[in-house]
Amino acid sequence: MSVKDIITKVRIKSRDRLVSFCNEDLVRISRIRHTYKEFRRCKPEMLLSPLQPDQRKEILDFWKPYRNVEKELQWFDFYNGLCPDKSLLKYYIPDVIFYSDVDRYFTYPTRSDYFDDKNMYDIYFHDVKKPRTIIRKIDGEYFDNEYLPITFDQAVQLCVDACQVVSKEARMSSSGKGVRFFDFTLDSVEDFKRVLNRFKDINVQHILEQHECLNKIHDKSINTLRLMTLYLDGEVNIISSVLRMGRDGARVDNGSHGGIICGINEDETLKEFAYNTRGYSWKQHPQGITFKGYKIVGYKQCCEMVKRLAGRLLTTSRLISWDFAIDPEGDPVLIEVNLTYGGVLVHQLCNGPIFGDRTEEILNRVYHQSK
């Protein structure tokens, strides 16, 4: 290889590294900073159980082959109060490490940015049930549910004719942000127009109806199942499943909006306790039902569906968080696909260490094998 070829190769490698830094590393750094900021903000309200010296040593020794977790021990203080089997405490993945290392290894944030678009779900997932789209705004342009161009006035009229609608940011939304409900027998059309004008990409849908088993829990919100899958060695693994529930009349079920979360067993029943994101627990939903043993119709069908769909997104993400509603017939309705930064806190609150007895195997891949 000539000197010129070597210089060209170095230049290309440097360029690719710079592009990767600008596109992926800066996004990751921003997410990590946000996570630290949120933890500090919420810490006074969280249930913390400070580590004992022997626990601290065990955790540091376990993580030593992978990375120094001295700065992340505050997360173990949090999980320490929730972990019934203290021998498993070292297996919990602190949120910051999950975002900075684990999620980064299994996902491609820059690719996800293009695929994680609710306006494209009717194309990507054309063969599964989804909320019915009324209109969509893509890059500032309006389209009907068949992707045919329409005017702004036509878009507004289609939504007004539907009477009750929900609008969502189509891209880069999380934790229920950007979700608005409109009932045009009560709400102002001018307010709806302002929402449409505020976002470059937006999706407006018909209001969903959910199965009676979810209505009994809290009928003011669509209560959703979140399943996290990991594609590993040619197999789709469902590593954790939870039910997110609204409460006290809230329209959304997100933990950041006061919702609570409960783990789901393989037999479709709920676990004994539900939690909020501060670590407080409930045996009963504030609106009535007892969690332990309560059956969630449609969960097994959700499991079958994610195993069928995960391969479609393999070049974008191997670690995916899927959100489903269950319709009155008991069928899964795909709400959202989180291809990166899907979050680990709600899973570990309800179900323990996210990778369970495979934690060492996963950490060895993340830290000792190339992507």
Give residue 113's pLDDT.
74
Residue 36's pLDDT is 64
pLDDT at position 140: 95
pTM of the model: 0.89
Q: Yes or no: say if 160 and 188 are a contact pair by the CB < 8 Å rule.
A: no
- Identify which of 128, 121, 127 has the alpha carbon closest to the alpha carbon of residue 337: 121
Q: Check residue 45 and give its pLDDT.
A: 78
**pLDDT digits 0-9 by tens, 312-330:** 999 999 999 999 999 999 9
Q: Shortest CA distance to 339 belongs to which of 106, 178, 131, 175?
A: 106
> What tokens appear for 86 in the block?
């203290």
For residue 263, the 8-state DSSP code is E
What's the pLDDT at 28? 64
| Predicted pLDDT of residue 10 | 52
Q: What is the pLDDT along the chain (371 residues), one digit of tens a residue?
A: 566 555 555 554 554 454 454 555 666 676 667 676 777 777 777 888 999 999 999 999 999 999 999 999 999 999 998 999 999 999 999 999 998 899 989 998 878 877 889 999 999 999 999 999 999 999 999 999 999 999 999 999 999 999 999 999 998 666 556 789 999 999 999 999 999 999 999 999 999 999 999 999 999 999 999 999 999 999 999 999 999 999 988 888 776 667 999 999 999 999 999 999 999 999 999 988 999 999 999 999 999 999 999 999 999 999 999 999 999 999 999 999 999 888 899 999 999 999 999 999 999 999 999 87
What pLDDT is attached to residue 76? 96
The span from the CA of 165 to the CA of 185, in Å, is 11
Predicted pLDDT of residue 26? 63
Whether the CB-CB separation of 107 and 317 falls below 8 Å is answered with yes
Name all contacts of 22-25 with Cβ < 8 Å and 24+ positions apart: 23/109, 23/110, 24/104, 24/108, 24/109, 24/110
**pLDDT number for residue 19:** 45
Q: Which run of H or of E encompasses 260?
A: strand 260-264
Q: Of all residues in the chain, what percent carry a pLDDT higher than 90? A: 74
Q: What are the pLDDT digits (tens) for 19-31?
A: 454 555 666 676 6
How far is it, in rounded angstroms, from Cα 141 to Cα 151?
Answer: 8
